Structure 1
Amino acid sequence: MASSPEMRASDADRDRVAAVLREHYAEGRLNVEEFDERLDQVYRSKTHGELGVLTRDLPHVDLRAYTARATAVPEKKSEKDGGLKGAWAIWAMASGINWVIWLAVSLGTWEEIFPWPLLVMGPWGVALLVSSIAGRGRDDK
């Protein structure tokens, strides 16, 4: 039995449309912004007509054949990894600059100076390491 556009959508209907959008996103038909926007609209939709608008410009997929399945969006994980990689890159750059300054001062005064860059690198590096390990543990679950 075909549903009319005014008919109220169930949670299962919304989950099926979300699964279809994930499939189209994985195939490259939607970029991350379009996917996020449509996914937000899916869960705000109240009728079959509102759900139909979200997939109107995509190739037809029989929604009844799709079962709702929870799949993670790969982009989200890489954003998280990118954030940690960026933090480590900033840490390495700041540490390198501090070591260059320390070396220049040491050579300029011809004295042995306490390696103070360790005071900057140490706590910051430990905090990043803990964040990296804690983040990796959450991904495994």
Structure 2
Amino acid sequence: MSDDLVPTSDPTRLRASHDDRERVAQALHTAMAEGRLTVDELQERLDAVYSSKTLGELEPLTRDLPAPVTLVKPVAPTVVPGVRPASPAHLVGGYPTSSVAIAVMSGAERKGPWVVPRQFTAVAFWGGIELDLTRARYAEREITITAVAVMGGIEIIVNPDTTVLVNGVGIMGGFDDKARCEGSPGAPVVRINGFAFWGGVEVRRPKTKELRKFEG
């Protein structure tokens, strides 16, 4: 499948319409009538207008004019109910409340309001661990979670607005990354590494039903 057929969230790669091209062409004609463009410059830009396929190719053609044609609308950030937009002011800071979670033939969890340290270790051996970062704060802007699952399971639920980088290994097990994403500018960075041996580590974002109780 070619790149042109792959869905994209980049508005500059959206296909231009006839109306889009005509708006730009009209602006160029007006600029020539005002003496801002020569006939040769107008023809050169009109050739580019009618050969353009995307909005990103069209918009720069009037960018140096007093009234440029705006075709690409800024994309508003996604707002998840119950989760505040990420910013260092309210997500970073505080004294770590826990630095390790161990489950040996048992279970362990960290959830609710808690402060994640710069380095956090989770080890599950024939047991299960849940780390819920949905309402967590971070002692520093960048933190690292080392997750080790041996014949056990570890589930890590990350805040949707943080930047998440997963680099784990599954050996006869799984290290599933379902949350790799770029957060808001200045948002905390959560690095997750480790390994799963005859076990599983799953990193994911919270489901809608898990966030409903925080709404309002």
Q: TM-score, normalised by structure 2?
A: 0.27
Normalized per residue, which structure has more helix? 1
Normalized per residue, which structure has more strand? 2
Greater relative contact order, per chain length (Cα 8 Å cut-off, separation 6+): 1
Q: TM-score, normalised by structure 1?
A: 0.41
